[in-house]
A and B are shown apart, each in its own frame.
Chain A
Amino acid sequence: MPGPEPLLCPSCGRPLPAESGVCRFCAASLRTRISTAWIGRGALLLLVIAAIHFTAALQYRPRLTALGDLTAEMNFERVRVAGRVVNVNVTQDRYNAPLVRLDLEDLATADAPARQRLSVRLEGEAALDFVALKDPPRRGDVIEVAGSLFAGSSYRFISVNSASLLKIKSRPAGSMPEAREDMPATIAELLAEPGRFSNRWIVVAAAEVADVAATHPIVRIREPGQTNTVMVFGFDGRSLTVGQKVAVRGHFVYFEKMGYWEIMTARGNPRAIEPVAAAGGD
């Protein structure tokens, strides 16, 4: 008749006398033990937690801050805003890297007409991502933005570190490409009545190059034969010569920091400043 099964220590596996309570080799208790299966059960619990988090990430509705509430007290804070795009500027820095600026305004409601404005800026990789977007935010789009607020006594903007943090929430039906919005203007009109052209895309059909900056994407243009100039920013004008007749397309804006009006050109638009044939030439 076979004897009873030999008792093995569940911890070290060595044989023990029957009815041992503690292993004589490793001192492990044979009575109070926890099954290793609990590790597997814990892993299952973590899978459930993962599923909850992923679902929450998909379903999450962010709390948006009104543009008017973004004050200097919130400087450096991560914020989430929604607004209508009133202007999109893509320019270049001195290293020909794109710089993107979107101007947003509060969404108008029945009791609060839109008035608060704020710029959203993208630089470096984020600007490159933006330029590469197949369908970037356009004027009139309602977008949601997540970024870091930079706000002081005289400035206020949101810096965004990835183009994926700009979400188009709605687009007005039949919105026009920006090129259709070009408004004809002369240098004299721009100098005399800048407010009339403020934040409009304009085209100056007849201008003359007055100066080309060597290191910055800055060209000054003037009315042929006149001395007062208007700055055109964002176009590498090194191929132009002083006195050359040109046509200029761009966005006419007031540069608040320096206190003057300028024409900001769209990045990469080779037609932003185009030479035109001089009268009487061939």
Chain B
Amino acid sequence: MELNLVLMCIPTALLGVAVAAVFSFIPGLHIYNVIAFTMMLAFAFVEFFAALDPLLTTSFILGMVVGFSVLFTVSSQFFQPCDDSFRSMMMPHERFLYEGRGYEAVILAGFGSLIALVLIAGLFPFLTKPIGLVRELIRPHVYWILGLVSAFILIGEWPKDHGVGKTVRQRLADGWVQLGMGFFTFVAAAVLGMFVFYNTIIPVESAFQSLMPVFMGLFALPSQIMTVITRATIPPQHFAGSVDAEPHDLARGALTGTVAGLFSSLTPGMTPGPALLVAGHATASSGDKQFIVGGGAARVLYYIGALVLFFMPDVYMRRGGAAINISLFFVPETVEQYLAVSGVIALSGATALWLLPRYARFCARTTQRVNYHWISAASVLLLVAMVLFITGWRGLVLMAVSTALGLVPNFWHTRRVPLLAVLMVPVSLNMAGVGHQVAQWLGFR
């Protein structure tokens, strides 16, 4: 590989991290949406992008993905508080925020991200054959693996606010309404997923982003809407010079995150949420600290690990939105490309981790100066505008339907993880070879 090309990869990757840092400030925004936007720019200025070596555009996108996967937790840590009605459903990072330890939670997640990045950049190059072998082993079994995880999600649903009713009947109803809404969310998300996979209304020119309005609606918008209407006050945050953890916590959390990240990156249709749920049980991890470290590791391994499989000799697996977008203009062929990509990932990861504490301090201070309601309101407007711009009014309709469904867990205090049936069920049915029949039965074909 030419020295010039390698040297050019460095500034482009750093530029990608910088862009990710800017966009990570917007809670709810997903880096794949930014990549989609980049692709639209690439289509508009095709001559400029065609003149670039594809590896440079790839480095830029890799820089964005790495930067985002490390930094985007910061804005969701500080700008998305939940109010008292969610006490029973509060996530560990939300608890840290209310204790003035948001910065510490970011650093804990950063430790998870660091371990995952060292694994990807340092160990993956020596594991290409075993990873290829695991992929081949998993491939014929994806449908039932996803089916089992779906079953695990369903049987893992439990009544969280039971016991508040005055009579036995009311308490029974309270419990079952929550359970029922969890099951309803799962089924409705699955039907929505089948519709999107088989009969979407997204215009063909935006087909490369057909899932974007659905994901925006199911996950990004509801969280931002809830943040806009919440009445919680964010306490001042303390910038800790050390974190309350032992090496054991980091190791156990990283193990959980690694299992979850590898599972989700090698299994089509799987995402870090359910994977972390399963891996947490499998590795018997416990406590908030291990959960946060595991989340940091799982996200990095899912976003970057899945993407790196696309470049990995013996694997070349196109998995995830970033890989799909990169494959529109670049097909990896050589070991040198993989080595350069690994270098770009390590460099971008180092930069993102260097930025992390500074970025967290900046966001923590922002919560004391700017009303987080305004940040979330601006985020809602931006997300809607983005969906309208990329997928048109049809995308907006799809997003509205998805948002309504995405708000169900917020209003009935159920978990969000059943919403991932939108991906898991269609992929599982397709892999089982019955997707078409089910779509036909649902009237989508």
Residues of A within 8 A of B (CB): 9-14, 25-26, 28-29, 32-36, 38-40, 42-47, 49-54, 56-58, 60, 62, 78, 80, 125, 146-148, 160-162, 164-165
Report whether A36 and B238 are in contact in the complex, using a CB–CB cutoff of 8 Å.
no
CB contacts (< 8 Å) of B136 on chain A: these are none
Residue from B99, B250, B313, B344 in contact with A34 in the complex, judged by beta carbons closer than 8 Å: B250
The DSSP consensus for interface residues of chain B is: helix
B61 within 8 Å of A (CB atoms): no
Nearest CB of chain B from residue A34's CB, rounded to whole Å = 5
Alpha-carbon distance A197/B346, docked complex (angstroms): 56
B118 in contact with A33 (CB, 8 Å): no
Which residues of chain B have a CB within 8 Å of any CB of chain A?
Answer: 1, 3, 6, 9-10, 50, 53-54, 99-101, 104, 107, 110-111, 114, 117-118, 121-122, 125, 238, 240-247, 250, 313, 316, 331, 333-337, 339-340, 342-344, 346-347, 349-351, 353-354, 356-357
Q: Out of B99, B250, B313, which one reaches A25, CB within 8 Å?
A: B99
User: Are B354 and A40 in touch, CB under 8 angstroms?
Assistant: yes
Q: How far, in Å, is B355 (CB) from chain A's closest CB?
A: 9
Extra pairs beyond A32-B244, A57-B340 (7, CB < 8 Å): A33-B244, A49-B121, A49-B343, A53-B342, A57-B1, A147-B333, A162-B54
In the complex, chain B residues whose CB is within 8 Å of the CB of A125: 50
Nearest residue, chain B, Cβ from A60 = B336
Whether B339 and A53, one on each chain, are in contact in the complex, defined by CB atoms closer than 8 angstroms, is yes
- Name the distance in Å between B315's Cβ and chain A's nearest Cβ: 11
* B349: chain A residues within 8 A (beta carbon): 43, 46
Taking a contact as CB atoms under 8 Å apart, the answer to whether B244 and A29 are in contact is yes
**Structural contact, A34 and B346, CB atoms closer than 8 A:** no
Docked complex Cα distance between A138 and B185 (Å)? 63
- Bound state CA distance, A148 and B313, in angstroms? 12
| Minimal Cβ-Cβ distance residue in A for B236 | A13
Contacting pair B356 A39 (CB below 8 A): yes
Set of chain A residues within 8 Å of B117, measured between Cβ atoms? 42, 46
Task: Look across to chain B and name the residue whose beta carbon is closest to the beta carbon of A8.
Answer: B238
B contact residues around A29 at 8 Å (CB): 244
A54 proximity list for chain B (CB < 8 A): 6, 9-10, 339-340, 343
B334 contacts A26, C-beta separation under 8 Å: no
| Best-surrounded residue of A9, A12, A29, A164 (most CB of chain B within 10 A) | A12
B347 touches A46 (CB 8 A): yes
Evaluate contact between B353 and A43: CB separation under 8 angstroms: yes
Using CB atoms, name the residue of chain B closest to A162. B54
Question: Are A33 and B339 in contact (CB-based, < 8 A)?
Answer: no
A–B pairs, 14, beta carbons within 8 Å: A11-B101, A12-B99, A13-B100, A25-B99, A32-B245, A33-B242, A34-B245, A36-B243, A43-B351, A53-B339, A53-B342, A53-B346, A57-B340, A146-B333
Do the beta carbons of A42 and B53 come within 8 Å of each other? no
> Would you call A50 and B350 a contact (CB within 8 A)?
yes
Chain B residues, Cβ within 8 Å of A50:
121, 343-344, 346-347, 350
Do B101 and A26 touch across chains, with their CB atoms under 8 A apart? yes
Most chain B beta-carbon neighbours within 10 Å: one of A9, A34, A36, A56: A36
> In whole angstroms, what is the CA distance A150 to B245 when docked?
54
Residue contact A78 to B333, C-beta cutoff 8 Å: yes
List chain A residues, Cβ under 8 A from B357.
36, 39
**Least CB distance, B343 to chain A, in whole angstroms:** 3
Query: Contact: B238 with A49, CB < 8 Å?
Result: no
**A34 & B242 in contact (Cβ 8 Å cutoff):** yes
Partner of B246 from the list A26, A32, A35, A38 (CB cut-off 8 Å) is A32
Closest CB-CB distance, B96 to chain A, in whole Å? 8
Closest CB-CB distance, A208 to chain B, in whole Å?
42
- Rounded to whole angstroms, the CA-CA distance of A205 and B54 in the bound complex is 44
Name the distance in Å between A15's Cβ and chain B's nearest Cβ: 12
Closest 10 CB pairs of A and B: A13-B238, A53-B343, A50-B346, A46-B350, A28-B244, A57-B339, A33-B242, A42-B114, A50-B347, A43-B353
> Given A10-B241, A46-B346, A50-B346, do A164 and B53 touch, yes or no (CB 8 Å)?
yes
Within the complex, the shortest CB–CB distance from B361 to chain A, in Å, comes to 11
Known pairs A39-B107, A39-B111, A62-B334; A53 contacts B340 (CB<8 A): yes
Whole-angstrom distance between the alpha carbons of A13 and B242 in the complex?
A: 12
> Is B6 in contact with A57, judged by CB distance below 8 angstroms?
yes
- Please determine whether B121 and A42 come into contact, CB atoms closer than 8 angstroms: no
Q: With CB as the reference atom, state the residue of chain A lying closest to B110.
A: A39
B333 x A161 contact (CB < 8 A): yes
Bound together, the chains give a CA A56 to CA B336 distance in angstroms of 8
A residues in contact with B337, CB < 8 Å:
57
Contact assessment for B121 and A10 in the assembled complex, using a CB-CB cutoff below 8 Å: no
Cβ-defined contact, A44 with B243, below 8 A: no
Q: Closest residue of chain A to B313, judged by CB? A: A78
Given A39-B356, A57-B340, A33–B243 Cβ distance below 8 Å? yes
Nearest B residue to A52 via CB reads B343
The answer, among A11, A45, A146, for a CB contact under 8 Å with B244, is: A11
Q: Which of B99, B243, B343, B353 contacts A42 (CB 8 A)?
A: B353
For the complex, give the distance between the alpha carbons of A58 and B10 in Å: 14
- Once bound together, how far apart are the Cα atoms of A51 and B6, in whole Å? 11
Contact B354 A43 (CB under 8 A): yes
- Residues in A with CB closer than 8 Å to B101 are 11-12, 26, 28
Known A-B contacts A42-B118, A46-B347, A47-B350; A10 and B99 likewise in contact (beta carbons under 8 Å): no
Quick one: closest A residue to B354, CB to CB?
A43
**Which of B6, B50, B245, B335 counts the most A-chain CB atoms under 10 A from its CB?**
B335
Establish whether residues A78 and B243, one from each chain, have CB atoms under 8 Å apart when the complex forms: no
